[in-house]
Each structure stands twice: as structure tokens, then as C-alpha cells.
Amino acid sequence: MQTKTTLRWLVFLMICISGLAACTSRLSSTEALSPFAPVRTNTLTFTPASTSTLTPVPPTATHTPSLTPSPTITLTPGSLPTFQAAGLYSGVSPASYIPSTCQYLYSRWNLMTNSQPGTVVVPVMFHSIAGDTRPAGDVTTITESYFHSFMDHAAQLGFQTITTAQLADFLENNAKIPPRSMILIVDDRKRAQYFTTFFEPYQKKYGWTVTNAWISHPDTPAYLWNENAALVPTGLVDFQAHGVIHNIPIEPDSSDAFIHTELYGPLTAMLDHFGSKPIAYIWPRGLFTAKAVQVARQAGYQLGFSSYPRGPLLFNWIPIGEPERQVNDPLMVLPRSWDTTALTDLDKAVAISQAAQAFANQNKGTETGYYAQYCKNYPGLLP
């Protein structure tokens, strides 16, 4: 009996051991399906390639020009500030004449080839120079002492003379001229001795020239033509037109025939006697009309001079009054200082030049920024 009981326990124990092994086997097979068990990935590692690092790339492809306007600038074409000079007479204001702002800025800031900002020109009108013992007879006559004081003071201030052709190139293109320039214009027919006595010494000392506003009147004697023509090769005198009849100026009631004769007559006469056509017309008595200015342009004149003492000239900046504004062509009605006040006018011109240069330096960023923004079809500015 005891033996049977023992046998049954042994059988039961073997069944339990067999079942426990089966349970353990099932647990091992389901372990990988547990949502908390780590996923096996066959130990493959994916490290990023060294060239795919996500570091910032410098913005080298934006091609931002060096002449970029400041972000605070909100300019529109034609909105650049204009230089305003102190000390101009009442009713006088500067006029520009270059219609394209881009063309103006291109000429203004190409400093390698053109004139510096603040370059100034003082046109001076001379008539008669009297001896010191002879009192000045009218407002157009100065003494020899005053003349020499003016010329010496001009030299001390650093002024140099320019010709009419140089002035035209400067006003139209900002061509390089001395920073302080003057054009000395003597009105009317003068004997050659007038120029050799008063102006030739300064030509020899400084290389200065003088411009003669020549009257091409039919009664001009041959000797006067000839002795003045002899001055042309010396380079001392630059001859320009001052009408034909001259004592009868062009006025609103002047006939078309008279205007034509006054403006076209000098072209032929001066070419015949002096070897070249004039490019400037010095209006007799300083009088002009809008119609006469148009005819002068058609005749080929590049410049014209009035007798109004408005102030000095800058590139694209001509001080004019109401009569000049009516003709709408500043280059044909340029102002001239009278010789009787020219000494102090030089000092005023220096002050205006310095102020214009300071204005240009202050506004250079704005102006070159404008050029970069609105003038992309123009060449780049030279440094």
C-alpha cells in the first residue's frame, strides 16, 4: 500500500516538472512582443554624413552692392535734397538743368575723372579800367589799383581762370576744373593793348586767360580785327559773341530778323577773323527773351551770360532770379559779378564752395544710395 502511494507522488511530481518547463518556454517566446521590450534593430547605426551638418551658410549670394541706401531712407525719384546757399540776394534761388537725376549723380560722384563737390566758378564782368589819377566815371569803371587788388586776392585765395569751353564742359558734364575757378569776361571791342597791359602779366605769372565779349559790328575797322586776331595764337584771349549792332539790345518787341542777325552774325564774322565760332553769347546790356534764347540754342550756342550779379556757379546749380526763370534755360542766362564788387564776391564764393562741399559730404550716403536703388542701368560709380 505504501509502495503504491509513493509511486503516485512520483508520477505527480514528474508531471509538474514537465508543465513548469513548458510554461517557462512559453514566457520566453512572448517576451519580444511586450510593448515595453526594446526593439532590436540588428545594431545598425545611422550617423549623419560630415557634409550635411546644419550650420548657417553666410549670405554670399545676395550680391548686395556697397552703395546700398540706409534702411531708413524712403526716397522716390527726384526727392533728393538740394543745396541752399546762405547770402544770396532776395528773390534769387538755385536752378538745376540736368533733367536726369541718375545722370547728375553719375557725373557728380565719379571723383576719379570729374570735379570735386564744391567746385565753384565766379564769372566776372569787366568794362573799363581807369588810371588811379582818373576818377571812375561810372559803375562799370574800376581803377588800376582795384583791378590789381582783385587779381592778387584771387591768386591768394587759390583761384584759377578757365576758358568758355572749359566752363561749358564743367557745367554740362562736371568735367574737372580747378576747385576755385573764375572766368574773366571783358565786354565790347577793345584794343589789343588793353589785354596785353592788364591781363598779360597774369598770364605770364599764373597762366591765366581772359575772355572777350566781342561786338561783330560791320563798322569794325580792319586794324581792330587784325590786332585782336594776333592775340589768338598766344592763348591769352578767348573771343566770344556780344552781338552785332549791340547798342540795340534784344527785347520783347524785337523782330525775328533782328534776333537772327544778332545771334547768327557773330558766327560767320568771328570764324572768318578769329578762326573759330563762338560757343557763348554775352547778351548786350544783359537783356534777353525766351524766344531769343531758343534761337541761340538753334544757332549752336552752349552758354549765355546775363548782367545779373546773382552769385557763383556750381555743377547743376545756377543762382537765378525771376527774369531768368521765365526762359527756362539756366545755362543761357548765367550770372556775372560786376567788377566793382568782384573783390568781395570772391570771398562769398569761397564760403559757398565750402558750404556746398560740406553739404555733399553730409548727403553722400543718401545720394549714392539713391543711385544704387534707382540707377541700375547706369555704370557703377568709381571710388
**Worst-scoring range by mean pLDDT, 37-41, 266-270, 341-345?**
37-41
Domain membership of residue 32 (yes or no) is: no
The boundaries of the domain holding residue 238 are 93-374
Domain membership of residue 147 (yes or no) is: yes
Domain membership of residue 4 (yes or no) is: no
Whole-prediction pTM: 0.80
Structural domain count, the chain: 1
Domain membership of residue 101 (yes or no) is: yes
Contact criterion met (CB below 8 Å) for 291 and 242: no
Domain membership of residue 214 (yes or no) is: yes
Domain membership of residue 54 (yes or no) is: no
CATH number at residue 363: 3.20.20.370
pLDDT at 28 over 70: no
Top-confidence residue, 140 or 382: 140
Q: Mapping DSSP to helix (H, G, I), strand (E, B) and coil, where does residue 196 land?
A: helix
Domain membership of residue 281 (yes or no) is: yes
| pLDDT attached to residue 2 | 44
| pLDDT attached to residue 285 | 95
Task: State the alpha helices, DSSP H only, in the chain.
Answer: 2-30, 101-109, 144-157, 164-173, 192-198, 200-206, 222-229, 256-274, 290-299, 322-325, 342-374
pLDDT at 45 over 60: no
Contact criterion met (CB below 8 Å) for 150 and 342: yes
Domain membership of residue 8 (yes or no) is: no
Of all residues in the chain, what percent carry a pLDDT higher than 70? 78
How do residues 90-116 score in pLDDT, each as one tens digit? 999 999 999 999 999 999 999 999 999
